Structure 1
Amino acid sequence: MELRRPTLDLLPGYSAALAAGWSADTERGAEAAQEELEAIRRAPGAFVDSLDDREGRGAPVALPDGSRVARLPGFRLWMWDGEFCGVIGLRWQRGTAELPPHCLGHIGYAVVPWKRRLGHATEALRQMLPQARAVGLPWVEITTDPDNLGSRRVIEANGGGLVERFTKPPQFGSKPGLRYRITLG
């Protein structure tokens, strides 16, 4: 499995996953998938370009409660093993490793259901960590739900240590979460 920069050539695999009901947005799910499919239909090149926004100049980000917040600098890469497998993204704030309260972590990932349990998320996170270091982060935080044992294993396999159990902000339904930290050497 390798990480690839999104391109128009690879877009059909991503679009097919969205059309099959998968979404990289684990909080907003089907609603986010439909928004992305519409953006792809309108302007596929602009959609692909929007996935690499290291200046944070893109459109505001929709949170699960419908509120919108300013986009942070970041980019997404696609997991690829001969076909589309999933997404991993990195986001940060300039000048600090801290994130605003509405941003649950520096790195988020999602694997399509038919490619789970193959080690893709673990490998994707391993490959993303040097890129987080390259943008100047001394550590990254990743959050997951307490019952998501697969995600917990992915984080721990990459050196993540549990920092805290917390309650997600109201925009995310005030549900319980786990915050992990991976120190970048």
Structure 2
Amino acid sequence: MSEPAVELVWPAREYLPGYVAALERGWSPNNLRPEAGFEELAQIRANPARFLEGLVDREAKGSPVALPDGTIVPRLPGYRRWIWDGELCGSISLRWQRGSNALPAYCLGHIGYGVVPWKSGRGVATQALRLMLDEARTEGLAYVEITTSPDNLASQRVIGANGGVLLEAFVKMPELGGTPELRFRIDL
């Protein structure tokens, strides 16, 4: 079975109904904060244009970020793209720190992604990550780091299929849940 062709689209009004439908089905683009999906629905209902604008913040001008424990940390430059195959498949984001490949301890990786459950197992995440790696290169990154839980074998396969090499097993800081995690690096 061949993989369906996916593309990364900039969040826009034309794609918003599909995104809202996924959120309404209980999907969250944030695997650390499942409630983020419901929070995003509220933001979209309050001001769709502001919500869409907030997903692209290359200058880190947006509000600080709340970690799962409520700790507030500075926002990093970054943006989110939506994974699209004719309908919404999920979301993938890129974040970085200007002038460095290093990330602050509260940021687990340069790239985060999530695929809606009804599209999983179809190679969508593998293709989306491959596309996002091209974008990371254009931002001047020499490599990206991506983390996943030790039991998330699907994500480990996605990272490996894109050249990821395991750097370490570690325990996330308490503000991020204090659970085991694996850190991979993909050289660009």
C-alpha offsets along residues 136-178 of structure 1, whole Å, 9 cap, x if unaligned?
1000000000000000000000000000000101111210000
Distance 2:104 2:64 in 1: 14
Task: Measure the CA separation in 1 of the matches of 2:7 and 2:102.
Answer: 28
Structure 2 equivalent of residue 96 of structure 1: 100
TM-score after normalising by structure 2: 0.96
Q: Which residue of 2 aligns with 1:114?
A: 118
- 2:109 is paired with a residue whose SS is coil
1:80 aligned residue? 84
- In the aligned structure 1, how far is the partner of 2:68 from the partner of 2:54? 20
Name 1:183's counterpart in structure 2.
187
CA distance in 2, matches of 1:18, 1:171: 25
TM-score (norm 1): 0.98
* CA offsets 1:19-45 (integer angstroms, 9 cap, x no match): 11000100110x211111111011101
Which runs of structure 1 show a deviation greater than 4 angstroms over 4 or more consecutive aligned residues?
none
Q: Which amino acid aligns with 1:137?
A: L
Residue 10 of structure 1: SS of its match in structure 2?
helix
Structure 2: how far apart are the matches of 1:11 and 1:123? 21
| 1:59 is aligned to 2:60 | no
The code of the aligned residue for 2:10 comes to: R
SS of structure 2 residue aligned to 1:87: strand
Q: Does residue 41 of structure 2 align to residue 21 of structure 1?
A: no
- Return the match for 1:48 from 48, 52, 74: 52
Matched residues, number: 183
* 1:12 paired to 2:17: yes
Gapped runs of 5+ residues in structure 1? none
Structure 2 residue runs without a partner (length 5+) = 1-5
Cα deviation, residue 52, structure 1: 0.7
Distance 2:12 2:62 in 1: 18
Alignment partners' CA distance in 2, 1:64 and 1:16: 24
Q: CA RMSD in A?
A: 0.6
Q: Taking every aligned residue pair, what percent have the same amino acid on both sides?
A: 60
| 3-state SS of 2:40 partner | helix
